[in-house]
Chain A
Amino acid sequence: MTAPLISLNGLTKRYGSFTAVDGVSLDVAEGSICGLLGPNGAGKTTTFKCLLGFVKPSAGSIAIEGAPVTPATFESLAYVPERAALYDNLTIGDHLTLYRRSYKNYDEARARELLALFDLDARKQTAKLSKGMRTAVALTLAFSIRPRVLVLDEPSSGLDPVHQRNVLDLMIDAAANGAAVLFSSHQVGQVERAADSVAIMKKGKLIVNSGIDELKTGEKIVEAVFAGPVPSIDGLAGDPNVLRVEQVGSTLRVVTRDDSDAIAQRIFALHPKSIRTIDLNLEEIFMNAVSGDQS
């Protein structure tokens, strides 16, 4: 692995007594896409704002391409905020002109391609655009500078399914060309497709930070049905590979982080009527993580 293009180390942001971001450490490597998930108010947007230097962190450090954030960072960094910031009295084409004058990496042909991809008319005034089209303009601008680092806050909000897929393809294309992408989404399916690593935030803390394959391979539910009441299993709840133990009637459900086979064997030794191991998809892993009590 090469040095990460995005690196957060112990990032913390307090507003008075409220801690919006609490000791977040996260790296995104060259050619990698990290999907950031979390309920509203988990601290995703504040993390992005700190990362970009818009908000001063209370503690911790940030490095983009191995260096602190300076105006020069933005030559190769693109940020798409949740609500696209556009000049209402300008046309889409005027925005492209601004970018041409401001960014030396601006690629006019690429920008035209992106306009066509999102079915945007350069002559349109941005004030008249729908939320989804505003997002599309912001994405066009972001990708027109062929950035090395992409920070995208809900990049497909308001877009139709076809254009949502286009956004994923743009991220994939950028990563295949060596960019690092950090994006937040409420759509777990998008993260599942586009991301190779998953970060989950809850109440300011990073509660999951893992490769997506490792996460899905590791986390499973072992479900056993017993003839009578569920027998007690020594040390199960304290096992480091057990995330949660649930009991409903004669059914035992154990959420495992790793080594579900060993746990299944232990339960099997108690002669359940049936036992099965259930693979979890990312949405279920996400729900388990944010509804659990491990924060």
Chain B
Amino acid sequence: MPTIFTVDPRSGVPLYLQLIEQIKRAVALGTLAPSEQLPTVKALALELTVNPNTVARVYRELERDGVIDTSPGRGSFVRADGAGTQARRAVADVARAAFEGAVREAKSLGLSRDETQELMARTIARWYETEKDA
């Protein structure tokens, strides 16, 4: 697998959530291609120096979310239909987490709902306009 994942054990975010996020992002971006095989639990645990049960949990949750398929004896694979709906959903998951973080931050800094909405609208206008201009 060409994609290199990294974990930050000093973060307050549990390692399994860090890995789920990174793998979803890789599927969304296509760095992990549809039908591509993932390393075994043991191989990824050793590569990242993280607990094997942590990796097993990551694979279980990715399977539950429809991002990967695991078949006993064969291993884990990115879902073949990943290019379509699953990848879209994975993108949405990653984006939603980023949005949530931004809104939480705005709220914690004491911005009102209107101020936050205004900020959001301006940001959307800026990035989506830029895209249209390009």
Contact = CB atoms under 8 A, between A and B. Distances in A.
Interface string B7-22: 1011111111100000
B50 interface: yes
B54 interface: yes
Contacts of B51: 33, 172, 175, 193-196, 212
A213 B16 contact: yes
Contact of B12 (A168, A169, A195, A281): A281
B94 to A, nearest CB: 18
Given A172-B45, A176-B42, A274-B110, A217 B14 contact: yes
Interface in A111-137: none
B11 A172 contact: no
Nearest to A221: B12
B50 A193 contact: yes
B14 A216 contact: yes
Interface in A146-190: 165, 168-169, 172-173, 175-177, 189
Nearest to A33: B51
Interface string A274-285: 111111111110
Given A176-B41, A273-B110, A274-B108, A279 B49 contact: no
B52 interface: yes
Contacts of A195: 51
A277 B11 CA distance: 14
Contacts of A196: 51, 53-54
A286 B51 CA distance: 19
A196 B110 CA distance: 37
B57 interface: yes
A270 to B, nearest CB: 14
B13 to A, nearest CB: 6
B46 A281 contact: no
A172 B108 contact: no
Given A172-B46, A173-B42, A274-B110, A32 B12 contact: no
Given A192-B15, A194-B51, A196-B53, A176 B45 contact: yes
Contacts of B57: 213
Contact of B52 (A176, A273, A277): A176
Interface in B28-56: 41-42, 45-46, 49-54
B99 to A, nearest CB: 16
B121 interface: no
Contact of A276 (B45, B53, B104): B104
A275 B109 CA distance: 7
Contacts of A273: 110
Nearest to A219: B12
A263 to B, nearest CB: 15
Interface in A236-284: 273-284
Nearest to B57: A213
Nearest to A224: B108
A37 to B, nearest CB: 14
A38 interface: no
Contact of B10 (A169, A177, A281): A281
Nearest to B54: A196
A283 B9 CA distance: 10
A212 B108 CA distance: 27
A213 B10 contact: no
A43 interface: no
A93 interface: no
Interface centre among B16, B52, B107 (most CB of A within 10 A): B52
The 4 A-B residue pairs whose C-beta atoms are closest, nearest first, are: A279-B12, A276-B108, A176-B42, A192-B9
6 contacts: A177-B42, A192-B10, A193-B51, A275-B107, A276-B104, A280-B12
Given A175-B52, A192-B15, A193-B15, 11 more contacts: A33-B51, A169-B46, A176-B42, A192-B9, A192-B10, A194-B51, A213-B57, A216-B13, A274-B109, A276-B108, A281-B11
